[in-house]
Amino acid sequence: MSFSQIRGPLAHAVSNTYLEARSLFLNTATDLACEIQSYKNPHVTGINGEDLFCDVALYGAKHASKKIIISSGVHGVEAYCGSAMQILLMQQLMPHNIHKDIQLIFVHAINPYGFSHYTRNNENNIDLNRNFIDFSKSRIATEEETQFIDEAYPEHWQSADLTDILKTINQYIEQRSWTDFQGKMTQGQYHWPQAPYFGGHTASWSNQVWREICAKHAKQCNKLIHMDLHTGLGPKGACELIYTGKPKNLELTKKVFLNGEVIAPGSADSSTPDISGPLCCGLLDCNPAALCVALEFGTVPIDTMLSTVIEANWLYNNPDCAASLKAEIQQKTLAAFFIDEQQWLEDVWEKSKAYFDDALQHLAEAES
């Protein structure tokens, strides 16, 4: 898989594989004299048998009172964009001095399995952005959830015909609407491990790693901004700045990001539903005062994106299908979350840089 339409300076930050992206991230961090910490996933390997890591690059004063965390790859395949933005942001820092009381923390490939295998979920079919809940509390499937699963999906995904699955889903949509289907599909569920947007039965490896990173680097600071990079929802090239922090900090967060409008998920203006168990919950458990946003960059129409998620989910449940079909689904999934167009990447970079500069400026001017 390769991106053939990307040219110029931005192309040097774009990778075609997880291994290529990791190497570029680590080399860029080394050139910047970052401290690097790596977490190996002991449970699974990559698409070519490679070891998988979540890597952290720390730039600036270790005991700074003000910090910015920039994370990528909670949805694995979305890291093809997120990794490129992290690398470009680091390259931008090289000729400049950062305020002495600010530390930057780049968390690369939170879900390295999905990154390597060109899929959104992790090795256990878990959507990590639904995995940060309190698993000690029992959850009972609602009647609405059960009815949706029964009507829209097959009873067993293994050996189910993909064409039949898509036909059943289209019939459900025709009887209701795309909005109804999207809302029920993407909310997240904790009882059907074979289905898309499964939040897990326990905390995943990535969940544990993220919490360890937060405990190590985010607990002891007075000012903290978290920017989580995503793709897939919204108009192509647009960026929705989604607020993911505590409700009491929404107005302050709006004052940070002057280059855009901070929107609460699930609101009338948002393309993103209000979900349970997103990544920011792991950070907020550690530092409730953190100002958290997700940068959601639009790619393809919502029906195309959800169809690719369904096909990728079928592939997870049917890994022994024909090699040609597997490659086709992986390519379609990648194309739904990274647009191979120069203008799209330039738009994404322009917005990423603007919001990163907003965060830097706010912290530089804030009292320690």
pLDDT digits (tens, 9 = 90+) for 133-164: 999 988 889 999 999 999 999 989 999 999 99
pLDDT score, position 95: 63
The whole-angstrom distance between residue 94's C-alpha and the CA centroid of its chain comes to 26
Query: CB–CB of 112/53 below 8 Å?
Result: yes
Mean pLDDT for the stretch of residues 310-335: 97
pLDDT reading at 16 higher than 90: yes
pLDDT score, position 99: 82
pLDDT digits (tens, 9 = 90+) for 82-98: 999 999 999 988 767 78
pLDDT digits (tens, 9 = 90+) for 199-227: 999 999 999 999 999 999 998 898 999 99
Query: CB–CB of 113/151 below 8 Å?
Result: no
pLDDT reading at 272 higher than 80: no
pLDDT reading at 280 higher than 90: yes
pLDDT digits (tens, 9 = 90+) for 222-264: 899 999 999 999 999 999 999 999 999 999 999 999 999 999 8
User: In angstroms, rounded to a whole number, what is the distance separating the alpha carbons of residues 241 and 359?
Assistant: 13
pLDDT score, position 270: 66
pLDDT score, position 107: 98
Strand intervals (E) in the chain: 35-40, 53-60, 66-72, 102-108, 223-231, 239-243, 262-263, 291-297
pLDDT digits (tens, 9 = 90+) for 181-197: 988 999 889 999 999 99
Mean pLDDT for the stretch of residues 290-316: 96
pLDDT score, position 268: 65
pLDDT score, position 367: 79
User: In angstroms, rounded to a whole number, what is the distance separating the alpha carbons of residues 283 and 160?
Assistant: 38
Higher-confidence position of 9 and 73: 73
pLDDT score, position 366: 86
Under the banding of pLDDT at 50, 70 and 90, the label for residue 329 is very high
CA distance from start to end of the chain: 46
pLDDT reading at 11 higher than 70: yes
Q: Which residues is 231 bridged to in the sheet?
A: 297
* Lowest mean per-residue pLDDT among 65-69, 122-126, 146-150, 364-368: 364-368
* Lowest mean per-residue pLDDT among 40-44, 64-68, 265-269, 355-359: 265-269
pLDDT digits (tens, 9 = 90+) for 126-135: 999 999 999 9
Domains of the chain: 9-132+199-304+331-365 (3.40.630.10)
pLDDT score, position 271: 66
pLDDT score, position 94: 73
Under the banding of pLDDT at 50, 70 and 90, the label for residue 178 is confident
pLDDT score, position 76: 98
pLDDT score, position 1: 67
Q: Which of 280, 250, 274, 277 lies closest to 262, judged by CA?
A: 250
* Three-state secondary-structure class, residue 84: helix
pLDDT reading at 4 higher than 90: no
Name the one residue in this structure whose structure tokens are 């990794």: 83
pLDDT reading at 340 higher than 70: yes
pLDDT score, position 132: 97
